[in-house]
Amino acid sequence: MHVHILTDKAYETDAVDAIAEIHNAQLKLSFACYTNPDERLDALSKIEPSDSGLILYNITDWYSAGLRQLNILSGNGVPIIEVHPKNIFCESGSPLPKLNGNKVGLICGFQSRGLLTAIARLNNTKLSTTSVKTKRKVRIINGPNLNLVGQREPEIYGFDTLEDVEKSCVNIARSTDQSLEFFQSNYEGQILDWIQDSIGKIDAIILNAGALTHTSIAIHDALKAFPGKTIELHISNPHQREVFRHQSFVSLAADAVITGLGVKGYELALLSQI
C-alpha cells in the first residue's frame, strides 16, 4: 500500500522523526506539507484510489483542506485516518466532517506515536513496541451492546466477536508483559464501579462506552477522578455517523482517542504507549 501523509503545518518535525522509525520495504510512504490550499487540493487530486491510504496529520482547517476531494477519495474506498498529536476534544477542536464511504478513522492524543499507529493500521501490521521497565496494569472496559459485536450490524462493526477481541488482547498483553483485565457490561452503574475501582490499582483504562459515550456525565466524572491514562475507543467512527453520536462526554475526560479502526483499534490502543 502507498500511504500518503499530508499536513498543513511546516513545523511537524515529530512526524518526520516518526516516519524515520519505520523500516518496511513493502510499505511506500509519501510525506508532504502544503500550507497553500491550492497545492493541497492538487496533491489530493493526484492520489490514486487503488491501493492507497491517506493520513491527515494535525490538520484543523478542514474547509481549506479539500473536503470535496476527500469525499471523492473516501467514496472510492480510500481509507482516511486523521491524526492529531493532542486530544483535540479537550482543546475545542473539530474532527473531520462526515465524508462519503465508511473507512474514516480518528487517532488523537498519542503525540507522534499516533502517526505510527495510523500507519500500522493502514498497512495491517503490528505496531512496534518498546520494552516496559515495570509491568503495566491495563483494564479494558466495554459498555452496552458490545457483547453483540460480530452479530449486530456487521457492515459497521465487522464479524469478529468480543470474545475474539479479548483473546487477541490477552495474547498481546502477555507478549508485552502487561497485566490485562477485560470487562463488558450493559449497565452504567457497573461501568462506574469498574472505573472507580481502578483508582490506585490500574495504570491505564481503555474504554469503549458504547452508547453511554453520548449520554453519561457520570462516566465523564468518574474518569476525571481516575489518575491514570485513559484511552477512549470506538470500533466505528461516531463522527462519521448520525449527528446524535457526535457528542462524547468520554472524549472530554480522556487522554487519547481511537475511533473507526475496527476491532484492530483494541490491539493498537493496547500497544500504544502514552
Q: Catalytic residue numbers?
A: 157, 234
CB 205 within 8 A of CB 223: yes
- 114 grid coordinates: 499516533
DSSP string covering 128-169: P----SS-EEEEEEE-TTGGGTTTS-HHHH-S--HHHHHHHH
CB 265 within 8 A of CB 120: no
Q: Which residues contact 134 (CB under 8 A, 6 or more apart)?
A: none
CB 78 within 8 A of CB 45: no
- Using DSSP's 3-state secondary structure scheme, residue 89 falls into helix
Q: Computed from CA positions of residues 214, 218, 224, 226, in that sequence, does the dihedral angle turn out positive or negative?
A: negative
